Structure 1
Amino acid sequence: MRKENAMKKVGKSIIYILLAVVAFVWVYPFIWMITASLKTQDEFFASGLSLIPKSLNFENYVRAWNNANFGVYFKNSIIVTVSVVVIVLLATSAAGYVMGRYAFVGKKLIMGIFMASITIPLVFTVIPIYELLKEMGLESNLLGLILAEAGGGHVIFLMLFSSFYGGLPKELEEAATIDGSGFMKTYTSIMFPLAKPIMATVVIMQFIWTWNSFLLPLIVTLSKPELRTLAVGLYALRGENVVDWTGIAAGACIAVLPIIIIFICLQRYFVDGVAGAVKS
């Protein structure tokens, strides 16, 4: 019996060691990026993959923020990302409520079209989106970028909301109807507030996607560099002949910080939202 317990402990220890190694390999690039942002250019090339900088050099952050206009790019990213998240959240929640709670003619066809849209690569839609923005006179401003990023089926979020709303008891709507609530009041005052876990999931995922989006912001802001988002501005640090690697590392750390903050604040709701959707 003791021998079996000892073998189990050894087996668990081996598993933990392997998982620790995998975890270290997984987070190593992120840690290396942080330490690289604190090195000088000479130290960056001399130290290779070393994780320990000789001194803490915060000039890279100052250079990225001021000289590379990261302050402006950060503001643009905040405006675009927050606007897109709000639009997507409201649109997918309302559509998911209708899809999950009501039966109507053509419902399966509509859901099939949404599901089929997943197979269309983004690069195939770039030219039509740009032409549409051009016809609307929005090809070179933040409003056009916001509409372009917020457009699309967002099928994953639609399915999450549809699954969640479809699993709620009908008694909620019946009680609301008896109290005199109409469609909109029932949705806004009862159903929507109950979907906080799904909302957190949508906010986190859409925030990450929009914040890191590169192709559409690059095309829309091509003629107006002052409208660049952080992802595009980070790419701009790469010159034709010289690449500011430490500046790029510092810029990447600045760019990833809001994502980490958002995830830390909403991670509990994120896990509940995904678990609830799977159960439904």
Structure 2
Amino acid sequence: MNSNLWHRHRLKAWHLLLIPFCLVWVYPFVWMISASVKSQREMLLGGISLIPDDWTWENFERAWTTARFGDYTMNTVTYSVTVVALVLLVSSLAGYALSRKDLPGKKVLVGVLVVTMFIPHGYTIIPTFLLVNGLGLNNGLLGATFAQAGPALVVPVLLFMGFFGGIPKELEEAARVDGAGYPRTFFRIMLPLAKPVIGTVALMQFISAWNAFFIPLVFTLGRPDLRTLGVGMYNFFGQNASDWTGLAAGACIAVIPIIVVFLFLQRTFVEGIAGAVKS
């Protein structure tokens, strides 16, 4: 009994020590929300105060209409959802194939995948641009989607490979005895079992695509109307001045969908990571 009591007191002590670190980590996000409803003058001269003297909701209206965040939000939703769909389809199929122990050249393929993880995007953007431009998909969201989804496949493929490799082979053999081919076995049996990994990959890729800046910037230079939120943030920076409160309001608009998606998939995310690592 005394041991349990001592353990509880130790946990409470750790919690008390960690609370200040938590507040330091959360403060910038809270300040961003506070700045989004302040006037420009109060934000610049108000110091670290979080409570606005004058609540200025026009910042959100200016971000949504003047900075065209309404259009950019729809572009970003289309862009992010398409990237997630492409990555899930390709990485799940590749992970399923690579999980087979009798696959010829498996070690070489996995080794190449791991090596590509260490190549910076700056070195691959030129060949990616030339490829997308050669397909006639430049200056459009579809080309940007392919450019974003292609280099993002390595970690999802490894996650799916680890998960599928841990599923008993007898399950596939039973499906084959019942007359199911490889496509039917994959889409009807294996893929539904991989829901935790699907949720993990979907969350990772959605956040990455939603926050993407470099690739959407390069592939929509000729079509400003197709910009995503990450690129659209630059509308608040003028030649002689910057709209900081509008930028804070725009950042709030951009962050809300990520928080909603993360809260919806957080349990699946943890289960998927744990399942893939365990396998």
How many residue pairs align between the two structures? 279
Provide Cα deviations, 1:1-52, integer angstroms capped at 9, x if missing partner. Answer: 97x9887666544321221111111111111111110111111112122111
Equivalent-residue separation in structure 2 for 1:74 and 1:200 (angstroms) = 22
Equivalent-residue separation in structure 2 for 1:202 and 1:9 (angstroms) = 36
Unpaired runs of 5+ residues, structure 2, are none
> Which residue does 1:49 correspond to in 2?
48
Offset, 1:274: 1.0
Larger mean Cα displacement after TM superposition, 270-279 or 197-206 = 270-279
Equivalent-residue separation in structure 2 for 1:267 and 1:240 (angstroms) = 41
What TM-score results when the alignment is normalised by the length of structure 1? 0.95
Equivalent-residue separation in structure 2 for 1:52 and 1:153 (angstroms) = 41
**1:217 and 1:229 in contact (8 A); partners too:** yes
Equivalent-residue separation in structure 1 for 2:274 and 2:176 (angstroms) = 30
In the TM superposition, what are the counterparts of 1:149-160 in structure 2 within 5 Å? 149-152=148-151, 154-160=153-159
Provide Cα deviations, 1:136-193, integer angstroms capped at 9, x if missing partner. Answer: 2222111111111111262111111001000001121111011110000000000000
The amino acid of 2:209's aligned partner reads T
What TM-score results when the alignment is normalised by the length of structure 2? 0.95
> Which residue does 1:277 correspond to in 2?
276
**1:117 and 1:153 in contact (8 A); partners too:** no
> Which residue does 2:257 correspond to in 1?
258
SS at match of 1:90: helix
Return closer, same or farther for 1:256/1:204 CA change in 2, 3 Å cut-off.
same
Return closer, same or farther for 1:171/1:224 CA change in 2, 3 Å cut-off.
same
Larger mean Cα displacement after TM superposition, 78-87 or 102-111 = 102-111
Equivalent-residue separation in structure 2 for 1:126 and 1:212 (angstroms) = 17
**2:87 and 2:152 in contact (8 A); partners too:** no
Return closer, same or farther for 1:103/1:242 CA change in 2, 3 Å cut-off.
same
> Which residue does 2:188 correspond to in 1?
189
> Which residue does 2:169 correspond to in 1?
170
> Which residue does 1:86 correspond to in 2?
85
Query: How well do the aligned residues superpose, as a CA RMSD in angstroms?
Result: 1.7
Offset, 1:58: 1.4
In the TM superposition, what are the counterparts of 1:105-254 in structure 2 within 5 Å? 105-152=104-151, 154-254=153-253
**1:35 and 1:52 in contact (8 A); partners too:** yes
The amino acid of 1:238's aligned partner reads F
Offset, 1:197: 0.3
Identity within the alignment, %:
49
Equivalent-residue separation in structure 1 for 2:94 and 2:271 (angstroms) = 21
